[in-house]
Amino acid sequence: MPSGQTHKSHFTIDFTRKSKFLFFGRSEAISELPENIIDRLYRRVMEPIAVILAQYRWITPNRISFAGFLVGGVCASMCILTLPLWTAGILFALGDILDYLDGDVARRQATVSNEGAIFDAVLDRYTDFLVIGALTYLNAVLLDRYTDFLIGRLAFLTPGIALLIGLAALLGSMLTPYVRAKTEAEGKKSCATIGDRGMRNRILVVGLLLGQPVWTLAAIAVVSNFSATHRLANALRKEPQ
């Protein structure tokens, strides 16, 4: 069953949660700093809920993961294209909460497994693709830069540039977890990074709630590609003999 997301950082400002993923039969956590106030708040709210939900065996971690995907991926991306962006921000935040919750329930039910971790990770990638893809289409096709909030002064924002920003955000979001997975598959330790999914999700929530699709994608593009490069550089280091 899914075991929650992995969000970690070596940086002074820590946007992390503890790793419980099992990668290729191993459960080696990436080193992390103590949880910050946001993570403590999430955990304080989620743990009592997980205790209650874990009592009902029909509420499984996989079902919670899938519900998070439907709410934070499918519904949020549809709202991006049809409704005010703050509605998508609320739905995406709810999906992220469910993504926290699935791992807590799995631990309470003692159902943590490799299969659940894989299922959860794949749904995360689909969610990233749907939400970032919807924002990219919104920026490149639907937005009128002369009338939309804080878009009017972005004279440089042509559909082509908006598309490139979105593709860069999508590429970085996919590469960051891929570099980690490939590094660990080769038997090497990956590293924590500031642009993990926890940070990217918070950028998305804040950006959607503020109605800032362009700057949201730009921030994700910068942070995620920095993180992918950071993890790649760490993976290419020769380990001491």
Q: What is the CATH number of the domain that holds 210?
A: 1.20.120.1760
Q: Which amino acid is at 201?
A: N
| Within a domain: 107 | yes
> Mean pLDDT in each 10-residue stretch from start to end of the chain (241 residues)?
41 34 34 54 78 84 92 95 91 91 85 87 94 93 61 67 93 92 87 83 93 91 94 84 61
| Residue 7 belongs to some domain of the structure | no
Is residue 53 assigned to a domain?
Answer: yes
Is 169 inside any structural domain?
Answer: yes
Structural domains counted in the chain: 1
d(CA 18, CA 40): 11
At 138-155, the pLDDT tens digits run 988 887 654 555 555 565
**Is residue 3 one of the residues assigned to a domain?**
no
Q: Find residue 26's DSSP bridge partners.
A: 23
pTM, 2 dp: 0.78
In this prediction, residue 198 carries a pLDDT of 83
The pLDDT assigned to 104 comes to 84
Tokens of 190: 């990956």
Residue 127 belongs to domain spanning: 37-233
In a domain, 93, yes or no: yes
Tell me whether residue 22 is in a domain: no
pLDDT for 36: 54
- The sign of the torsion formed by the CA atoms of 85, 122, 169, 216 equals positive
- Indicate whether 14 belongs to any domain: no
pLDDT of residue 171: 95
d(CA 102, CA 58): 13
